Amino acid sequence: MGKKVIIDCDPGIDDALALLIAFASEELEVLGITAVAGNVSSDLTARNALALCALAGKNIEVAVGASGPLSGKPCNASDVHGSNGLGNVDLPLTGSVSSRSADEMLFEELIRHNGELELIAMGPLTNIALLIKNHPDVLLLVKKLTIMGGSLGRGNVTRYAEFNFYADPLAADIVLRSGIPIEMYGLDVTNHALLFAEQIDEIEGWGGLVLTQTVAMIRYYQAFYRSKGLDGLKMHDPLAVAGVIDPEITKRTPHALGVETRDPETLGRVLVLNDVEPEAPRNVDVCLEVDQDAFSRLFMGLMKSYR
Ligand code: BDR
Ligand code: CA
């Protein structure tokens, strides 16, 4: 059996691709999914997660989480992912969401797996921050938290902030400063993890129901990037999952980090605390380099299993 993980996400087309490779990988055992408001509302992200499980033939518990940020104005990315979050592809739904809330699922499963459970967070960090606030006693049981979010360089919502951190800066600050062992995949690397136009055509050529629906979502996301002058996709969330599957595809450096929560201009910006707060723990391994070829091989290999 692979690493035991719960995936916290806001599907989202790149979340969808990340979930599909997580389901296909023998290195991971996905024990549950918690949905959070982000790209679209939490009702829709939970629905999408369930529909993606059904598409991939997986029976995985999906719990609904926070419907908005801990503080500040809610925002979404339906301009990038479509009004339903999946490029307006209408995936059929089977099953229903869990009777447990995201908070209950995270708390109970961390206790049940007693230090063996990893978390992967690919949306705003609201659910994880609530876990930290509501159950500080279970933090030591988080084996590792892998995050897609933030940037040490430029943002993608504002000059300073990446979407997941911008959507809930307070949550991101609480999580980064929590002391939990974190691996952070920010725009510094995810902007360089691409799915090229010819690879999309190749996946389309493989056929089959799962990949036909997947390519329909991808084409929507591709149109967004084409409008920005890129003939391919930025694989933000899939890179975070790929990094858990194979840690060799990225290089990481430990940092002490926080997030700007007050200044309206730089809200959501990552703050490097290494020298400013020398006693702050360097608990965040920031990925700053990715092996694009190794990432492509891993992604394409896992997608091929859906033919
Ligand atoms: C992040 O923002 C979302 O739109 C994507 O799903 C990804 O998690 C990239 O900034
Ligand atoms: Ca996401």
Asked if residue 183 has its Cβ within 6 Å of ligand 1, the reply is no
Tens digits of per-residue pLDDT, 65-78? Answer: 999 999 999 999 99
Query: For residue 14, which atom of ligand 1 is closest to its CA?
Result: 6
Q: Is position 236 annotated as part of the catalytic site?
A: yes
Contact 93, 58 (CB under 8 A): no
- pLDDT attached to residue 35: 98
Mean pLDDT confidence for 42-67? 98
Q: How far is the CA of 71 from the centre of ligand 1 (A)?
A: 19
Residue of 81, 135, 192, 236 with catalytic role: 236
Say if residue 23's pLDDT is above 90.
yes
Say if residue 1's pLDDT is above 90.
no
Amino acid type, 45: T
Residue 283's nearest CA partner among 165, 174, 121 is 174
Mean pLDDT confidence for 96-117? 98
Q: Whose CA is nearest to atom 10 of ligand 1?
A: 163
Say if residue 45's pLDDT is above 90.
yes
Q: What phi and psi, each to the nearest 5 degrees, are found at residue 189?
A: -110, -35
Amino acid type, 119: L
Asked if residue 12 has its Cβ within 6 Å of ligand 1, the reply is yes
Q: Report the distance separating Cα 35 and Cα 66, nearest Å.
A: 8
What structural domains and CATH numbers belong to the chain?
A: 3-304 (3.90.245.10)
- pLDDT attached to residue 70: 98
The ligand placed nearest to the CA atom of residue 76 is 1
Q: Report the distance separating Cα 208 and Cα 190, nearest Å.
A: 28
Residue 180's nearest CA partner among 127, 256, 276 is 256
Asked if residue 80 has its Cβ within 6 Å of ligand 1, the reply is yes
Surface-to-core class of residue 216, CB atoms within 10 Å of its CB (0-12 exposed, 13-18 middle, 19+ buried): middle
What global pTM score does this model have? 0.98
Spatial neighbors of 266 by CB under 8 A, at least 6 apart, are: 158, 160, 161, 260
Mean pLDDT confidence for 289-295? 97
- pLDDT attached to residue 135: 97
Contact 118, 146 (CB under 8 A): yes
Mean pLDDT confidence for 142-159? 98
Tens digits of per-residue pLDDT, 205-219? Answer: 999 999 999 999 999
Tens digits of per-residue pLDDT, 229-288? Answer: 998 899 999 999 999 999 999 999 999 999 999 999 999 999 999 989 989 999 999 999
